[in-house]
Amino acid sequence: MRIGRARVVLPPGGFLQATAVAEEALAGLVGEAVSEATSIADLFCGVGTFALRLAERARVRAFDASKEAIAALARAAAAPGLKPVEAAARDLFRRPLLPAELDGCDAVVLDPPRQGAEAQAKALAQSRVPRIVYVSCNPATFARDARLLADGGYRLGRVVPVDQFRYSAHVELVATFAR
């Protein structure tokens, strides 16, 4: 599968967005939101849906619990024309990136599963990262995590819904937060 300039060989059980059109829309919104960043952390990155596209113009540190997804991302990140991508397997529910580990990042992108990213949001709320882009498929857990970020001093900016779940009431969203 092609993601930006890279070609990814999907691992068994690899996660992709529900539709190609919605994935492109989400990637466009995320890319626009971090367009000025030169160092980005992509949390819950999967096979690199965002990381590989972002690496076309910025250095990326990508983290996901799936070792298979991280291996696929690392192989794809060798594509010509990409900035360095550091891909590491890490359970962000049990071991979220701490504020000191995020120093030097201009932006963080996070796209957690339906249960949200409570532990990671708590750690981000204590960080100095100037910009966070949160992609969510669950408005309830997004609201919980957004409250944590707001309580930590982040301001919620633009929120864009993306209707990618055909024939269902579910919606994906892309939200930006800034210090």
pLDDT of 99 over the 90 cut: yes
Q: Flag whether 107 is in a domain.
A: yes
User: Out of 37, 92, 124, 137, which one is annotated catalytic?
Assistant: 137
Report the domain count for the chain: 1
Burial grade of 13 (CB within 10 A; 0-12, 13-18, 19 or more):
exposed
pLDDT of 162 over the 70 cut: yes
- Predicted pLDDT at 22: 76
39 Cβ contact partners less than 8 Å away, ≥ 6 residues apart: 58, 59, 61, 104, 105, 106, 107
Q: What is the pLDDT of residues 56-69, one digit of tens each?
A: 999 999 999 999 99
Q: What is the pLDDT of residues 15-62, one digit of tens each?
A: 655 566 778 889 999 999 999 999 999 999 999 999 999 999 999 999
- Residue numbers of the domain that contains 142: 2-8+19-178
Q: Flag whether 13 is in a domain.
A: no
Segments in 4-132 forming alpha helices (H): 20-33, 51-54, 67-76, 118-125
Rg of the chain, C-alpha, whole Å: 15
pTM equals 0.92
- For the question of residue 137 being annotated catalytic, the response is yes
Q: Flag whether 62 is in a domain.
A: yes
CATH number of the domain that 90 lies in?
Answer: 3.40.50.150
- Predicted pLDDT at 3: 76
Task: Using alpha carbons, select from 81, 74, 76 the residue that is nearest to residue 57.
Answer: 81
Q: Flag whether 14 is in a domain.
A: no
Q: Flag whether 130 is in a domain.
A: yes
3-class secondary structure, 80: coil
Q: Flag whether 43 is in a domain.
A: yes
